[in-house]
Amino acid sequence: MKDNKYRAAMDEIRPDTDFEQKTLARLSKKRKAPGYLRFAIPAAAVLACVLIVAIALPGFLPFGAKKTDAPQLIALSTPAPSAAAKATAMVYSYVEMEMATEEALDGGLMAPMLSESAMGMYDAIPNTEEYSNIRESGFRSTLTSPLSTFAADVDTASYTTLRRRLLAGEWPEENAIRVEEMLNYFSYADIAPEDGQPVKLSSALSACPWNPNAALLFVGVGAKQIETESIPRSNIVFLIDTSGSMDGPDRLDLIKRAFALLTQNLREGDVISIVTYAGSDKVELEGVDGAERSTIMNAIENLSAWGSTNGSAGINTAYALAEKYFIQGGNNRVILMTDGDLNVGTTSEAALTDLIEEKKQSGVFLSVFGFGRWNLKDNKLEALADHGNGSYCYIDSLTEARKSLVEQMGANFYTVLKDVKLQVEFNPAYVSSYRLIGYENRALAAEDFSNDSVDGGEMGSGHSVVALYELIPAQGVSLCGVTGTEAQAGEGLRYQSNTNGDLNEVALIKLRAKQPDGDESSLFTQTVLPQETVEGAMKRNLSLASAIAEFGMLLRDSEFKGSASWDMAIETLRQLPIPSDEETELMYLITRAKQISAQ
């Protein structure tokens, strides 16, 4: 986008004067591309022009193609994107990434902002991204469905994917919007466990901003933070996609740069292996001590992208190495870095998840990091993480790589709770019906909650999980100023039996989770009490979460968005005391979405 467009957007937001002034100052700087790219950009552009002329006007060149009939000329006049066009786009992308990195290190926005010239180059590349279909959850009656059960999900890929699209001036696909992943990308105050407890449950009620007939229930789960000196030794196998589709500055080149950051946190005693896969798999590094950073970086720097993608072969080899160097009581993990375009060997989503389900029985966990645009197979990457006892993040910039691989290394690399499941039982005396926002592809049957053989989600060191419910109050009941008009009655569970029907509780939150090496889950509970007001940290948490959910529903054009609006979401965020960089960026993205939607 042009600087004047960005200034106009920031003028509208004005989340923080200092932030705005510093951002505009950086944008007004005269920037230069890296020395070697100052020559590469003109050269790539000239090459692209020559090839375009050669294809479109062959008769004007002495070495051009022979004149053909009209249908063939029509076919030649609208060619598929050429290699030169792709190369030129990649060169511009790399320059933009360098600029974005400079801004990020200087305290700028969290993700790269692409210029119109770079976005124009991107338009030449066909979009073959894939996402799983999502069907939004509707309201459920507490008479027939008093229990809401789902696996705790700490994936964040949806937020960084939609950020990439909005910054490029594109509207994200509806199925790319997973509201729970947007919620879980952000940090929330005072929901971390205390006094050595493994987990903490938090809740709060407020009026629902977009639905005057509903209250909003915030449910937060915080996992314990492991201090760096207490983190066990790690046995990590990096499984890197080096197929042809990974060629580019936002793919393999970005992985290499991310590794330079990642190696800073590897320690003596850690065991590091690197497996690559293209048409076949290859062990690039095996069983090297984490302190040997130069050896690790040399192996990474020598990688190049080529050929087809036999991901299943790489998965088998990576897990074999992880089992070979398995550390009892340690952190044993495969870290997959790919765009997900698996086209040789086992390729279907179902077959891949079956393979991962089998491999996770070894006790090795999986982390999935997606890279690249145009060709991202988000559906496969999400499925691999869900079935491999791991999480899924999407890396759209070096700044995001720093956050996910360095700042949040403990959360993404060290599991403290596995098979985490949440179940909320609603009291029909207070709640007539409810709707869980998001988590559509993580829903579980009520009976699966207590079944330890059924997979749940995983939480890393310091991870948090947030869920939001819209609640329609029961007849005559007031929740946060909203009075219900529907009658509700029933019998059965905690609140629906005759003996407990008078309990002064809105809901009971239950959580089950296992230790990383355990087979039996432990139960944690907390009741939700009726309250008219919420203050302090929980009020802030509710405001942040409700603005994010509102943003997600607008992007999906949800049938449940009610009176939600871009301006209302921005105003909610503007009222947050001392917004973080991420929250300020969120305000900008909402404004960006508003601009694009009006075009």
> Are residue 234 and residue 343 in the same domain, yes or no?
yes
Residue of 216, 354, 359, 242 whose CA lies nearest to 300: 242
Q: Which two tokens stand for residue 63?
A: 């070495």
Helix (H, G, I), strand (E, B) or coil at 535: coil
E strands in 462-564 = 464-473, 478-479, 482-483, 507-514, 522-528
Q: What is the pLDDT of residue 148?
A: 97
The domain boundary, picked from 67, 93, 126, lies at 126
Does 569 reside within a domain?
no
Residue 430's identity, in one-letter code, is: Y
> Are residue 385 and residue 453 in the same domain, yes or no?
no
Q: What is the pLDDT of residue 407?
A: 87
> Are residue 38 and residue 108 in the same domain, yes or no?
yes
> Are residue 432 and residue 397 in the same domain, yes or no?
no
Backbone angles phi, psi at 528, to 5 degrees: -105, 120
Query: CB under 8 Å to 364, separation ≥6 — which residues?
Result: 319, 322, 323, 326, 332, 333, 334
Q: What is the pLDDT of residue 193?
A: 93
- Evaluate whether 391 touches 151 at the Cβ level (below 8 Å): no
Core vs surface per residue 496-517: b (16+ CB within 10 A) or e: beeeeeeeebbbbbbbbbbebe
Question: Which CATH number covers residue 409?
Answer: 3.40.50.410
Backbone angles phi, psi at 98, to 5 degrees: -60, -45
- Evaluate whether 567 touches 593 at the Cβ level (below 8 Å): no
Q: What is the pLDDT of residue 93?
A: 40
> Are residue 297 and residue 378 in the same domain, yes or no?
yes
Backbone angles phi, psi at 383, to 5 degrees: -65, -40
Q: What is the pLDDT of residue 468?
A: 98
Residue 208 pairs in a beta bridge with none
**Total tally of structural domains belonging to the chain:** 3
> Are residue 352 and residue 475 in the same domain, yes or no?
no
- Evaluate whether 596 touches 588 at the Cβ level (below 8 Å): no
Does 589 reside within a domain?
no
Residue of 463, 484, 467 whose CA lies nearest to 541: 467
Residue 337 pairs in a beta bridge with 240, 369
Does 48 reside within a domain?
yes
> Are residue 305 and residue 406 in the same domain, yes or no?
yes
Other beta carbons within 10 angstroms of residue 190's beta carbon come to 14
Query: CB under 8 Å to 547, separation ≥6 — which residues?
Result: 569, 570, 572, 573, 586, 590
Other beta carbons within 10 angstroms of residue 52's beta carbon come to 14
> Are residue 50 and residue 157 in the same domain, yes or no?
no
Does 275 reside within a domain?
yes
Does 342 reside within a domain?
yes
Q: Which two tokens stand for residue 18?
A: 């200092």
Report the alpha-carbon distance of residue 234 to residue 291 in Å, rounded: 12
> Are residue 209 and residue 233 in the same domain, yes or no?
no
Other beta carbons within 10 angstroms of residue 246's beta carbon come to 28
Residue of 421, 412, 492 whose CA lies nearest to 456: 421
Does 295 reside within a domain?
yes
For each of the chain's 599 residues, which pLDDT tens digit applies?
334 443 444 444 433 444 444 434 443 443 344 444 444 545 555 555 545 444 444 433 333 333 333 323 222 222 333 333 333 333 334 334 444 434 443 444 455 544 444 445 445 567 889 999 999 999 999 989 999 999 998 899 999 999 999 999 999 999 999 999 999 999 999 999 988 899 999 999 999 999 999 999 999 999 999 887 788 899 999 999 998 889 888 899 999 998 888 888 899 999 999 999 887 789 999 999 999 999 999 999 999 988 776 778 888 999 999 999 999 989 999 999 999 887 656 556 677 778 888 888 889 999 999 999 888 999 999 988 988 888 999 999 999 999 998 888 888 889 999 999 999 999 999 999 999 999 999 999 999 999 999 999 999 999 999 999 999 999 888 888 788 875 444 434 678 664 445 678 999 999 999 999 899 999 999 999 997 668 889 999 999 999 999 999 999 999 999 999 999 999 999 999 899 999 999 999 999 999 999 98
> Are residue 404 and residue 432 in the same domain, yes or no?
no
The tens digit of pLDDT for each residue in 299-350 reads: 999 999 887 767 788 889 999 999 999 999 899 999 999 998 876 565 566 7
Other beta carbons within 10 angstroms of residue 445's beta carbon come to 10
Q: Which two tokens stand for residue 203?
A: 């809740």
> Are residue 211 and residue 306 in the same domain, yes or no?
no
The domain boundary, picked from 383, 413, 443, lies at 413
Does 14 reside within a domain?
no
Does 5 reside within a domain?
no
- Evaluate whether 100 touches 399 at the Cβ level (below 8 Å): yes
Q: Which two tokens stand for residue 553?
A: 């529903």
Helix (H, G, I), strand (E, B) or coil at 402: helix
> Are residue 243 and residue 219 in the same domain, yes or no?
no
- Evaluate whether 88 touches 567 at the Cβ level (below 8 Å): no
Q: Which two tokens stand for residue 583?
A: 């929250």
Q: What is the pLDDT of residue 390?
A: 85
Residue of 477, 450, 405 whose CA lies nearest to 255: 405
Report the alpha-carbon distance of residue 420 to residue 582 in Å, rounded: 27
Report the alpha-carbon distance of residue 463 to residue 465 in Å, rounded: 7
H/E stretch holding 256: helix 252-262
CA-based end-to-end distance of the chain: 14
Backbone angles phi, psi at 241, to 5 degrees: -75, 120
Residue 219 pairs in a beta bridge with 203, 467
pTM of the model: 0.80
Q: What is the pLDDT of residue 313?
A: 84
The tens digit of pLDDT for each residue in 518-576 reads: 999 999 999 999 976 688 899 999 999 999 999 999 999 999 999 999 999 999 999 99
Helix (H, G, I), strand (E, B) or coil at 365: strand
The domain boundary, picked from 379, 413, 447, lies at 413
Question: Which CATH number covers residue 157?
Answer: 2.60.40.1230
Range of the structural domain that residue 83 is part of = 31-126
Q: Which two tokens stand for residue 335?
A: 């870290």
Report the alpha-carbon distance of residue 520 to residue 153 in Å, rounded: 20
Other beta carbons within 10 angstroms of residue 416's beta carbon come to 22
